[in-house]
Amino acid sequence: MSTRTFDKPDQSFEASRRFFLMASAAAGGGLLLSACATQDPTDGASTVAAAPAKPAAPPVDINAYVAISPDGSIRIMAKNPEIGQGIKTMLPMLIAEELDADWSKVQIEQGISDQARYGNQIAGGSFATPQHWTPHRQVGAAARLMLMQAAAAKWSVPVSELSTGPSVVRHAASKREISYGDLATEASALPAPEKAVIDGLKLKDAKDYRIIGKSVKNWDSPRIVRGEPIFGIDVTVPGMKYASFEKCPVFGGKVVSADLEAAKAVPGVVDAFIVRQVGSDLMGLLDGVAVVADDWWTAKEARKKLNIVWDEGPTASQSTTDYDRQAAAFAKAAPKVANLRNDGDAASALKSSAKTLEASYSYPFLVHAPLEPQNCTAHAKADGTVEIWAPTQNPGPGRAMVAAATGVPADKITIRLIRCGGGFGRRLANDYMVEAAAISKQAGNIPVKLVWTREDDMQHNPYRPAGYHNFKAGLDKDNKLVALTNHFVTFGAGEKPGNSAGLPPAEFPAGYIPNTNYGFSVIPFGVPTGPLRAPTSNAVCFAYQSFLDEVAHAAGKDPLDFRLELLASPTAPAPTPGRASFSPKRMSDALRIVAERSGWSRRASLPKGVGMGIAFYYSHQGHFAHVAKVKVQPNGQWRVLKVWVVGDIGSQIINPTNAINQVQGSVIDGIGEMSQKITIDRGRTVQANFYDMPLIRMPDAPQIDVHFNVTDNSPTGLGEPALPPVLPAVANAIFAATGKRIRSLPVIPADLRWA
């Protein structure tokens, strides 16, 4: 059962939707609805290795997304990269609903990378739902209109007298009915509706949905459970060789020499050569040595013969122990960059507070480690074109990088989007893509499949940046939080935080207390950083929602009540620049419901060693509140027993089965992050594989209660926002269970001993 609450429309969503419409119009005219030449329906590896069932007669394009065959089968293109977030299944549901399609006749195919046809194609930021919610329904509605226009012409009746049912157009007055398949050819010859017409089309009321809101199972599952080759690493093209590529263990290091002949002497090795860095992007093409062979294992093994001498460069002087020392030194002084956020007079308010608290929180670098190691198949052809089969989240920048590295113009590069074995932000970078293209070219224009080892992946990654938060809080005589300061120490260059290493000025409780001051200092860093699922939020949420828990306890208040009181008292008229759609009401409602569902008020009866913690967070336009219940053994071994999640992502849960799956996965993923770390030693990543960078396993996955609080707001995405609150909810539960406050990640079980 969902509860319904009502709030004002989400303005920030409106802005992003308009942007999407304009971008589409600028790129391709109209809504990209004009019928294009039929796209080669190459669904990545599938047509190479195992052709999917084809309809008997070829489909005709109604628009860029929809093609209908005379037999009634409907092909809908899924435009965005699939990384496990379920977008390949979900986006076509939006189109099919307003097309009024018979879902059993729908075939989903993956679109290739094509900016002019599809606009941006990116799996990131949980943007796909808010950005496509209206435009994709309009795509379906426009195609439906064209089918109705074709029927109107055939029957010589006005369109206004027609209606549709699942894949049929009906004329009630004459009791006639015709299938979409029988109209496809005529409809495809019609001009695409003008934008003004499309914007005027009435979309369905939610109560009439037949597809949206019904659980549609992951489209590719049947093929995956049979072991069909549909991932990037499975791509095979004729004449293909296999490549392995060794880069300097220190980021940005250069090859001085390598024993190429020794590698070439290994039976099965076709070639070995030095590849040189292009540009300065540490997530671009770096120096390294490529080995090309008849099979991948041979190529990988031959790397052992290379005896590469590296010029390690300046980053070889950097280590995590030094970062920690620098962070401690920064913390003793004022922030180098002051007043990232400044409300009131926090310094004076702290001085006059009845009670003050200080605490420092820190968390380590993290690696993405999608289970499919980075890989890409590329063919830099002798005719001056490049063809790429890439498991990427973000093909656009990859295309530019390949163009720069190969000298082939961007429009001569074809990028096929192949299902990714996980993303988590790692595949927003395209280093593997440019490597594959460069190796293919240098190997003599032969097609090459590059596959990284797990060690390559662990040690060449844009890491989730570590961070240090040095908080001070002041409570007045009534135990109200009146002042908060944070000197945040992060990583980057000069005074600029690196990728995903910044602190949002709007970070709660800024804008909800009278005196706030945030500032930061930057540790120089030679290792690439980047977005990990719920970037910034996955780290900052732990620090802030844990410290607020400390403040609640210091104030003698229930951590739930303390949070609700803060949310009820915004102090600034525009408290959250960049977070315009944050609603304290939606968040408060989520908190109240999660408290109710979890039995929060009855937690005093829990035995020693068992505790409950609460946290909330707003990210990616989603409002989430979590309660975690944790059991800590006297020896410090801990396990999360159960997590309750309440999420508010608006008015419609588009594909419920996947929505719940994403939340369950986010919760377990977040718990797993609490035991992980990446450390840097002499510019190298220390951890190598899953034996020293553990992934969470089945026994540590708790029971999870997922509830969506359906509200009258436009739907938003779900790949990320359920993750951040897990970490502080669990840390706060550990405190409740043991009295030990987790101020530094990863959690060290020995520190939690309580008997």
Partner 1 sequence: MAFTINVNGKTHTVDVPGDMPLLWVLRDKIDLKGTKFGCGVASCGACTVHIDGKVARSCVTPISSVGGGQVVTIEGIGATPIGQAVQKAWLDVDVLQCGYCQAGQIMAASALIASAPKPTDQQIDEAMSGNACRCATYVRIREAIKTAAGVAVADTREA
Please report, for the chain, how many H helices and E strands are present, in that order: 20, 30
Burial 214-237 (b: 16+ CB within 10 A, else e): eebebbbeeeeeeebebbbbbbeb
Which helix (H) or strand (E) segment holds residue 468: the answer is: strand 467-475
Which residues lie below 8 Å from residue 721, measured CB to CB, with a gap of 6+? Answer: 126, 534, 537, 617, 618, 619, 620, 621, 622, 623, 624, 647, 649
CB of 434 to partner 1, least distance (A): 22
CB of 211 to partner 1, least distance (A): 16
Which residues lie below 8 Å from residue 39, measured CB to CB, with a gap of 6+? Answer: 77, 111, 112, 114, 117
Closest to partner 1 by CB, 139 vs 718, is: 718
- What's the gap between Cα 548 and its chain centre? 27
Closest to partner 1 by CB, 614 vs 701, is: 701
Binding site for partner 1 (CB under 8 A): 49, 83-86, 215, 217-218, 220-222, 224-229, 231, 233-234, 236, 242, 267, 295-298, 369-373, 419-424, 451, 453-454, 629, 631, 641-642, 657-658, 661-662, 664-669, 672, 689-691, 695-699, 701-704
Q: How far apart are CA 742 and CA 745, in angstroms?
A: 7
Closest to partner 1 by CB, 253 vs 391, is: 391
Bridge partners (DSSP) listed for residue 375? 451
Which helix (H) or strand (E) segment holds residue 459: the answer is: helix 454-459
State which amino acid sits at residue 570: P
Closest to partner 1 by CB, 296 vs 735, is: 296
Q: How far apart are CA 711 and CA 587, in angstroms?
A: 11
CB of 640 to partner 1, least distance (A): 10
Q: How far apart are CA 60 and CA 37, in angstroms?
A: 9
Q: How far apart are CA 702 and CA 198, in angstroms?
A: 47
Closest to partner 1 by CB, 218 vs 326, is: 218
Cis peptide bond N-terminal to 746, omega within 30: yes
Which residues lie below 8 Å from residue 194, measured CB to CB, with a gap of 6+? Answer: 30
CB of 441 to partner 1, least distance (A): 23
CB of 201 to partner 1, least distance (A): 32
Neighbours of 721 (CB within 10 A): 26
CB of 693 to partner 1, least distance (A): 10
Closest to partner 1 by CB, 197 vs 224, is: 224
Closest to partner 1 by CB, 295 vs 495, is: 295
CB of 218 to partner 1, least distance (A): 6
CB of 16 to partner 1, least distance (A): 25
Closest to partner 1 by CB, 463 vs 525, is: 463
Closest to partner 1 by CB, 374 vs 716, is: 374
CB of 653 to partner 1, least distance (A): 14
CB of 87 to partner 1, least distance (A): 11
Which residues lie below 8 Å from residue 276, measured CB to CB, with a gap of 6+? Answer: 255, 287
Closest to partner 1 by CB, 652 vs 658, is: 658
Do 677 and 730 meet the contact criterion of CB atoms below 8 Å apart? Answer: no
Which residues lie below 8 Å from residue 125, measured CB to CB, with a gap of 6+? Answer: 620, 717, 720
> What is the pairing mode between strands 74-78 and 355-363?
unpaired
Total residues belonging to the chain: 755
What is the token pair recorded at 153? 């012409």
CB of 86 to partner 1, least distance (A): 7
Closest to partner 1 by CB, 92 vs 683, is: 92
Which residues lie below 8 Å from residue 32, measured CB to CB, with a gap of 6+? Answer: 24, 63, 64, 117, 118, 119, 139
Which residue is listed with tokens 């944790």?
Answer: 630
CB of 295 to partner 1, least distance (A): 4
Closest to partner 1 by CB, 84 vs 130, is: 84
Q: 153, 151, 205: which is closest to 176 by C-alpha?
A: 151
CB of 556 to partner 1, least distance (A): 30
CB of 279 to partner 1, least distance (A): 30
> DSSP state, 460?
S
Do 648 and 623 meet the contact criterion of CB atoms below 8 Å apart? Answer: yes
Helices 11-28 and 128-155, interaxial angle, to 10°? 60
What is the token pair recorded at 444? 């003599």
CB of 89 to partner 1, least distance (A): 10
Closest to partner 1 by CB, 86 vs 119, is: 86
CB of 49 to partner 1, least distance (A): 7
What is the token pair recorded at 184? 């496809």
State which amino acid sits at residue 77: M
Q: 139, 97, 98: which is closest to 117 by C-alpha?
A: 139
State the sign of the Cα–Cα–Cα–Cα dihedral 327, 330, 336, 339.
positive
> What is the pairing mode between strands 710-711 and 4-5?
parallel
- Under DSSP, is residue 539 helix (H, G, I), strand (E, B) or coil? helix
Do 259 and 306 meet the contact criterion of CB atoms below 8 Å apart? Answer: yes
Closest to partner 1 by CB, 187 vs 420, is: 420
CB of 167 to partner 1, least distance (A): 24
Closest to partner 1 by CB, 163 vs 689, is: 689
What is the token pair recorded at 691? 């034996």
Closest to partner 1 by CB, 145 vs 369, is: 369
Closest to partner 1 by CB, 82 vs 550, is: 82
CB of 221 to partner 1, least distance (A): 5
- Under DSSP, is residue 565 helix (H, G, I), strand (E, B) or coil? helix
Which residues lie below 8 Å from residue 386, measured CB to CB, with a gap of 6+? Answer: 378, 379, 380, 402, 406, 408, 412, 413, 414, 437, 440
Q: CA geometry: angle at 441 spanning 435 and 443, to 5°?
A: 95
Bridge partners (DSSP) listed for residue 356? 474
Closest to partner 1 by CB, 260 vs 643, is: 643
